[in-house]
Amino acid sequence: MQLPDNLKYTETHEWVRREADGTVTVGITDHAQEQLGDVVFVDMPAAGRVLKKGEEAGVIESVKAAADIYAPVSGEIIDSNAALADAPEKINQAPYETWLFKIKPQDAGEVQNLLDAAGYRKVADADQH
Amino acid sequence: MTAALKTTALNKVHRELGARMVPFAGWDMPLHYGSQLREHERTRAVAAMFDVSHMLVLDITGDDARAFLRMLLANDVAKLDADGSALYSCMLNDDGGVLDDLIVYAVRPGFFRAVVNAGTADGDLAWMTAQRNARGYACELRPRRDLAMIAVQGPRARDLAHAACPATRVAENIARFHAAGDEALWVARTGYTGEDGYEVMLPAGDAERWWRALLAAGVTPAGLGARDTLRLEAGMNLYGQDMDVDHTPYEAGLGWTVVMDAQRDFIGKRALASREPRYDFLGILLTDKGVMRAHQTVRTARGAGELTSGGFGPTLNASIGLARVPRGVSPGDAVDVEVRDRALHAQVVRPPFVRNGRVLVHA
């Protein structure tokens, strides 16, 4: 299982990358895409939407099941990845290079408190289905 | 305490090929070998192979074999006019409910072969044995767990099978929905994908060698994930989902497999004749973006129905399903499907959605 050290993670299998401008970019982990199987459809939040940490942000539909994607931190959605409409399979092929949406965080503390790679590894190992 | 999963003769080779294994009907089976979308596409474009050894091959032999099957099955084996012809049928209980769906082949006079679903195999054998005994038919029922079964499906499936496994040439000139060979090697031109190809019943000890030969010839291994998307596109029912013991064949789109005539009695006939079907059974094509799933509600002008199967059809690049709907709902009707919390637009269509690689339905 791929698990980059420079990213933060959530218990709900999102990865989070802190950008230089203070925004965060969000995707799903290698573990998550493997559990899901081939992704066929993605429904991500519109720019301008304001979400609380842990709130449902969007849905990823795979051949097997639908998976909710959650806002890892509270904030406003800046953008979501339009390329996913035509090539949802990129999430399976390159989970850490395929972003889902970007947030402008309200609270820097929430970003700090996300899991690091070691913390997420425990979550992933416990999650087998 | 749960029993260990059963394994087919190909279990080791699936794992060697990197299959993601899952439990299915008590068996340890390959879900996919990396990407079920890719396996689906390869099946429609070239050829793929499926280990279907979990299904049960059951031989029915003896003087009363034919008479027994004419009583047991809703379709009529009298239609099997020559060695090698095949018949798709439901097996019903006394209430007309579907116990299983199966294919039965005429191997030679007094020798029939049935292939039944893995999940219902034990129950089917028990039911058939009880009916034979109660009704006094002189025939033997032999489960053939000494055989494995490999399905090779796709436009190039037969050519590649002939090249890789020349023994399949025994079926070179047969028509679709027929079979050739003998009880030790039975090559049937049948399948569960809507493509041409074979389902080969062969000694379990030969299965690995055949699988590797087909692999070397360019046939793509495919698992249960692709098997399900292919059969759904082909408009083929899945027992336990599209029909079950609580529904008659007419309520599952399988009225065409029932033969009612004055001269033949069969188990469930009386019930079918006296029960009005409560539902029609049709296909659903989602026109909004999203993916439908089994058990979601379908809102029609005539009331609510329910998806029995739902998913994504890769060849159509759209979500499709099969549904029980109120009587009178027709192909072309606009409906809504309750997907998660939203009402998505869909259209009623007559299955199949895809046959021989060609998309047949359009929004």
Tokens of A50: 């304001």
Sequence-separated (6 or more) residues with CB below 8 Å from residue B81: none
Residue B26 region by backbone torsions, left for phi larger than 0, else alpha for psi between -120 and 50, else beta = left
Q: How far apart are the first and last CA of chain A?
A: 15
The mean pLDDT value for A48-52 works out to 97
Q: B319 vs chain A: nearest CA distance in angstroms? A: 10
On the question of pLDDT at B3 being above 90, the answer is no
Give pLDDT tens digits for B123-154.
999 999 999 999 999 999 999 999 999 999 99
How many angstroms separate the most distant Cα atoms in chain A? 37
Tokens of A49: 């939407």
pLDDT (0 to 100) of residue A1? 78
Tokens of B214: 């087909």
On the question of pLDDT at B274 being above 80, the answer is yes
Q: Which long-range contacts (C-beta less than 8 Å, at least 24 apart) are formed by B173-176? A: B174/B84
DSSP B283-301: EEEE-SSS---TT-EEEET
3-state secondary structure at position B359: strand
Sequence-separated (6 or more) residues with CB below 8 Å from residue A8: A15, A16, A17, A18, A72, A111, A114, A115, A116
The rounded distance, in Å, linking the Cα atoms of B268 and B256 is 16
**ipTM of this predicted structure:** 0.86
Look at residues B243, B237, B208 and name the one whose alpha carbon lies nearest to residue B99: B243
Which residue type, as a one-letter code, is found at position B181?
A: G
Among B37, B291, B314, select the one facing A66 at the smallest CB separation: B291
Which residue shows structure tokens 């439908």?
B292
Given a contact cutoff of 8 angstroms between Cβ atoms, the answer to whether B25 and B212 are in contact is no
The rounded distance, in Å, linking the Cα atoms of B261 and A112 is 75
The mean pLDDT value for B255-267 works out to 97
* Contact list, A40 vs chain B (CB under 8 Å): 37, 291, 312, 314
Cα of B34 vs its chain's centroid, Å: 24
Q: CATH assignment of B1-237, given 3.40.50.300, 3.40.50.1360, 3.40.50.720, 3.30.1360.120?
A: 3.30.1360.120
Q: Which domains does chain A have, with CATH numbers?
A: 8-111 (2.40.50.100)
Contact B312 A66 (CB under 8 A): no
The rounded distance, in Å, linking the Cα atoms of B229 and B320 is 9
pLDDT (0 to 100) of residue B194? 97
Contact A63 B225 (CB under 8 A): yes
DSSP B140-162: EEEE-TTEEEEEEESTTHHHHHH
pLDDT (0 to 100) of residue B2? 64
Q: B237 — phi, psi (to 5°)?
A: -70, 150
Q: Residues 41-80, chain A: which have Cβ within 8 Å of B? A: 41, 43, 59, 61, 63-66
Q: Please list the residues that pair with A41 across neighbouring strands.
A: A61
The rounded distance, in Å, linking the Cα atoms of A66 and A62 is 6
The rounded distance, in Å, linking the Cα atoms of A44 and A70 is 10
DSSP B70-130: HHHBSS-GGG--STTBEEEEEEE-TTS-EEEEEEEEEEETTEEEEEE-TTTHHHHHHHHHH
Among A63, A89, A92, select the one facing B312 at the smallest CB separation: A63
Look at residues B166, B221, B155, B225 and name the one whose alpha carbon lies nearest to residue B191: B155
On the question of pLDDT at B1 being above 70, the answer is no
Q: Please list the residues that pair with B112 across neighbouring strands.
A: B60, B106
Mean pLDDT for chain B?
A: 97
Give pLDDT tens digits for B222-238.
999 999 999 999 999 99
The rounded distance, in Å, linking the Cα atoms of B25 and B21 is 13
Given a contact cutoff of 8 angstroms between Cβ atoms, the answer to whether B149 and B52 are in contact is yes
The rounded distance, in Å, linking the Cα atoms of B40 and B291 is 17
Give pLDDT tens digits for B108-129.
999 999 999 999 999 999 999 9
Q: A60 vs chain B: nearest CA distance in angstroms? A: 9
Under CATH, what is the fold of the domain B278-357?
Elongation Factor Tu (Ef-tu); domain 3 (2.40.30)
The rounded distance, in Å, linking the Cα atoms of B332 and B345 is 12
Q: Interior CA angle at B141 toward B135 and B143, to 5°?
A: 150
Q: Provide, rounded to the nearest whole percent, the portion of chain B with pLDDT above 70.
A: 99
Q: Residues 267-296, chain B: which have Cβ within 8 Å of A? A: 289-291, 293
Q: Which residue ranges make up each domain of chain B?
A: 1-237, 278-357
Q: Provide, rounded to the nearest whole percent, the portion of chain A with pLDDT above 70.
A: 99
pLDDT (0 to 100) of residue B148? 98
Among A41, A59, A63, select the one facing B37 at the smallest CB separation: A63
Given a contact cutoff of 8 angstroms between Cβ atoms, the answer to whether B98 and B248 are in contact is yes
On the question of pLDDT at B81 being above 90, the answer is no
The rounded distance, in Å, linking the Cα atoms of B163 and B314 is 29
pLDDT (0 to 100) of residue B363? 73
Instruction: Identify the band that residue B318 occupies on the pLDDT scale cut at 50, 70 and 90.
Output: very high
Give pLDDT tens digits for B53-70.
999 999 999 999 999 999
pLDDT (0 to 100) of residue B66? 98
Percentage helix, strand, coil, to 5, in chain A?
Answer: 25, 35, 45
State whether residue A82 sits within 8 Å of chain B by CB. Answer: no
* Other Cβ atoms closer than 10 A to B122: 13
Given a contact cutoff of 8 angstroms between Cβ atoms, the answer to whether B214 and B255 are in contact is no
Give pLDDT tens digits for A21-32.
999 999 999 999
Write the burial class of residue B245 (CB in 10 Å: 0-12 exposed, 13-18 middle, 19+ buried).
middle
Which residue shows structure tokens 């239609």?
B79
